[in-house]
Amino acid sequence: MASKKIIILDESVANQIAAGEVIERPASVVKELVENSIDAGSTRIQVEVVNGGRTSIRVIDNGEGINREDVVIAFERHATSKIREATDLFSIRTLGFRGEALPSIAAVSKVTLKTRTANEKVGTLLKLEGGEIKDLRDIGMAVGTDFLVEDLFYNTPARYKYLKTTTTELSQISDIFNRIAVAEPQIAMTLIHNGRLVSRTPGTGRMLDAILSIFGRELVDNLVEVDYEENYVKVWGYVTIPTVYRSSRKHQSFYVNGRFVRSTLLSRGVSEAYYNLLPPNRHPIVFLFVKINPVHVDVNVHPAKFEIRFSRPEIVMDVVTKGIRKALQTKNYLPTFKPME
């Protein structure tokens, strides 16, 4: 009937739309898969990409795996093992919770998932193309998950066209990989591109070991430790001494409750701390972790979860500034002011 105009979109169309928000480029796939591996309690994660992720992206972990009964449902939208009800949104302890990554990735690529849990004798192999199941069978394997994504955006030419050169896509991948690896020093993480080692961390549990293996000795020797708490906001991590700086803020990594975020607010807190210590338009390198009661942050702002909202932003910013100032002061990079009589 011509009078009925509104329909509910087919699931595969809905998944492609969601994929547009969550999966922008190969680096988004790497982020989502690695975060799933972390949430699964892995101690080893290996990422192998081919041609900047255009040809394939593979993430192998030794985490808890997915049960046979859960494998298919994991690719449904809003399918998650991480939250159960709306109130759980205020106490999220995992990196994932939206249940959108797997269906989104599967909608725009060819997926081969191999996975096994400790209480299963055999693993499961599941193949999907554009979200449609092509194969599901037993496979012998160790406990963990091996997630292969091939031909990303093969069925969304508009998206494919926006991919940049291999070098650019790889640098986006290693950027997000490195930021996550620094935050998870207890996990031995490896990134391989076209068969060659790009980045690795030893998994010792010490953040400085992770920073050292990724960025090298020179940076580590020029870092000071931040460790500060006020108003129930805790800030810790590492920042460069004022003689070491960069011309852009992209060397600053912020994490809120363990999650890597982009935050102009936290960045402003950093600039404030270095006020008058750096030449104009120069920025320190920072790895800063903020811990705050989850009730005071909204992580559910953006599908890729890069952006967050604080309920009391000025307090958080102030604690960041004070924490860094105190660290620089201990190293005598700042004069100690006596309170006025």
Assess 113 for contact with Mg ion (CB under 5 A). no
Assess 64 for contact with ligand ADP (CB under 6 A). yes
Assess 37 for contact with ligand ADP (CB under 6 A). yes
- The listed partner (Mg ion, ligand ADP, none) that binds 193, CB under 5 to 8 Å by sort, is none
Binding residue for ligand ADP, selected from 18, 29, 47, 74, defined by CB under 6 A? 74
Between 82 and 309, whose beta carbon lies closer to Mg ion? 82
- At 47 the three-state DSSP class reads strand
Question: Segment near ligand ADP (CB under 6 A), from 11-19, 63-71, 214-222, 274-282?
Answer: 63-71
Assess 180 for contact with ligand ADP (CB under 6 A). no
What is the helix (H) or strand (E) element at residue 178, kind and residue range?
Answer: helix 166-183
Binding residue for Mg ion, selected from 15, 16, 36, 62, defined by CB under 5 A? 36
Task: Give the chain's largest Cα–Cα span.
Answer: 84
Assess 99 for contact with ligand ADP (CB under 6 A). yes
Separation of alpha carbons 224 and 333, rounded Å: 11
Question: Segment near ligand ADP (CB under 6 A), from 3-11, 35-43, 85-93, 303-311?
Answer: 35-43
Q: Where are the beta strands (DSSP E) in 151-280?
A: 188-193, 196-200, 223-230, 233-240, 252-256, 259-261
> What pairs with residue 310 in β-bridges?
297
Question: Segment near ligand ADP (CB under 6 A), from 100-108, 130-138, 213-221, 310-318?
Answer: 100-108
- The listed partner (Mg ion, ligand ADP, none) that binds 212, CB under 5 to 8 Å by sort, is none
Which parts of 303-322 interact with ligand ADP (CB under 6 A)? none
Q: At what angle do helices 166-183 and 207-215 cross, to 10 degrees?
A: 160
Binding residue for ligand ADP, selected from 40, 148, 292, 316, defined by CB under 6 A? 40
Q: Where are the beta strands (DSSP E) in the chain?
A: 44-50, 56-61, 110-116, 123-129, 132-139, 144-150, 188-193, 196-200, 223-230, 233-240, 252-256, 259-261, 286-291, 297-298, 309-310
C-alpha Rg value of the chain to the nearest Å: 22
Q: Which residues bind Mg ion (CB under 5 A)?
A: 36, 96, 101
Q: Which residues bind ligand ADP (CB under 6 A)?
A: 32, 36-37, 40, 61, 63-66, 74, 79-82, 96-102, 145
